[in-house]
Chains A and B, each alone.
Chain A
Amino acid sequence: MKAFLMAVVALIVISAAANFALNNAGFSSAGMTSNSNVRLSD
């Protein structure tokens, strides 16, 4: 079952990495429908 456990670890790592990459890619659905004149947070 080592393959299964490694797949679970990979799944967690890929998900965390995807989240980090997407958050830093400058793309968000909120950002897509906005521009500099719109304040989304703060």
Chain B
Amino acid sequence: MTFLRILLPLIFLVSFTGLTVAQDTVGDTAVTAPGHQTLEDILARQRGEDVPFGAEVPLPQTGNGGPEAGQLGTLGGASDSELWREIRADASTAVVASNSGPAAKVLMQEGGMWWLDFRHGPLLNYGSLLLGATILLLAVFFLIRGRIKIEHGRAGVTIERFKWIERFGHWLIAGSFILLGLTGLIQLAGRKLLIPYVGHEAFASFAVVGKWVHNNVAWAFMLGLVMVFVMWIAHNLPDRTDINWLLKGGGIFGKGHPPAKKFNAGQKLIFWAVIVLGTSISVSGLSLLFPFEITMFGPTFAKLNDLGIPQLLGFGPIEASLTPQEEMQYAQLWHSIVSFVLMAVIIAHIYIGSVGMEGAFEAMGSGDVDLEWAREHHSIWADEVVSEQNKASGDKQPAE
């Protein structure tokens, strides 16, 4: 019995020693394994430094199970971190998907971090700054200049400026753009700006409704865009009067207004901004609405490289071989950036068409404008309309 009393504790102690040695052995192997990354590597990547991934570590055969000793699951004794490192390094052998859709096998994307950072940071900050600065500048302008009055007072006679269908097209694109702008801002900035105030649940409702509105009202915007383009392109082609109008600053400061046709140079700039930026927003929006169906950026970057434009600007060729998810990321950023610019333009347009100028809103309200307003702001067009009216009324006079 005495012998057993000594032997059993000894066996017990020896078994622990064996286990400790086994743990040390496993630890050492993990540290010295090819391609193993250190904690410093991980921290450096989190700081945004470009630390290349090491050599691929062959994964253990899944399905066969690990060795009985130290078995922790189907991967056996292998660490999960090795698997996730493979996935992060886009080692496609590590992922099997049941469908063949674009980006179906992408579980983690190292390249998406800059997009996420840009979306949460500079895009939101500079976009908000642009809109805020536009509103501030308009407020300062209003304080300095005040409302632009009809200098010689109303004539009391009106002429038709826009037909019903023109106003319909204008309000279709205007109404849809305001809805799209608001819902787009909710989608972009809601997490940062709304959740702290309304909470997650209320924001979830905002986001769901906003997404529905954004996706479906977009079609009304595109229809309005086509209508406006077709109806007004002929009046918005540049001509000589625009140079004079621009040189005189549109008569915004001081007395008198430079002569202009139906649309002055300022309105033409807004028209082309709406057409060009609106089309760009529509195409990038369609790309987002139909994921992976429209590739805009890879071919554009390739074209720019062929033309040597990035090289001319002192940059190297732009990476034109984009993964499907990178295409979507660029489409989202472009959609937002161009939308911010167009929102700033439209805020200025709304200002001048409402509180900024007496008599301007009537053009889109009733469609008829005061003759004196028309003579001051669109003198060439007003003269044409009056002479046509005189001619028409002369034709109606019965022959004596």
Q: Which chain A residues have a beta carbon within 8 Å of chain B's beta carbons?
A: 1-4, 6-8, 10-11, 14-16, 18-19, 22, 27, 29, 32-35, 37-38
Contacts and interface: CB of A to CB of B under 8 A. Distances in A.
Contacts of B174: 7
Nearest to B219: A18
Contact of B168 (A3, A14, A33): A3
A10 B172 contact: yes
Contacts of A7: 167-172, 174-175, 224
Contacts, number: 80
A6 B167 CA distance: 10
A35 B171 contact: no
B47 to A, nearest CB: 33
11 contacts: A4-B171, A4-B175, A7-B169, A7-B170, A14-B217, A15-B217, A16-B216, A19-B216, A35-B100, A37-B98, A37-B99
B223 A14 contact: yes
B220 A38 contact: no
Contact of B98 (A2, A4, A11, A38): A38
A35 B101 CA distance: 8
A12 to B, nearest CB: 9
A16 to B, nearest CB: 7
Contacts of B179: 11
B172 A11 contact: yes
A6 B220 contact: no
Contact of A32 (B101, B164, B169, B215): B101
Interface string B165-201: 1011111101110010000000000000000000000
Nearest to A29: B291
B365 A34 contact: no
B166 to A, nearest CB: 8
A29 B206 CA distance: 21
Contact of B365 (A1, A14, A33, A37): A1
Nearest to A3: B167
A11 B179 CA distance: 10
Nearest to A10: B172
Contacts of A3: 164-165, 167-168, 170-171, 367
A37 B96 CA distance: 13
Contacts of A22: 215-216
Contacts of A4: 167, 171, 175, 365
Contacts of A34: 99, 101
Contacts of A10: 168, 172, 220
Nearest to A7: B171
Nearest to B171: A7
B290 A8 contact: no
B104 interface: yes
A14 B220 contact: yes
B102 interface: yes
A2 B216 CA distance: 23
B358 to A, nearest CB: 19
Contacts of B217: 11, 14-15
Given A29-B291, A33-B101, A35-B100, A8 B223 contact: no
Interface string B339-368: 000000000000000000000000001110
Given A3-B367, A4-B167, A33-B104, A11 B176 contact: yes
A3 B171 CA distance: 7
A9 B384 CA distance: 34
A3 B162 CA distance: 11
B213 interface: yes
B271 interface: no
Contacts of A32: 101-102, 290-293
B220 A27 contact: no
Interface in B191-244: 212-213, 215-220, 223-224
Given A1-B365, A4-B167, A11 B99 contact: no
Given A16-B216, A19-B216, A32-B292, A38 B99 contact: yes
A6 B9 CA distance: 93
Contact of A18 (B101, B216, B292, B366): B216
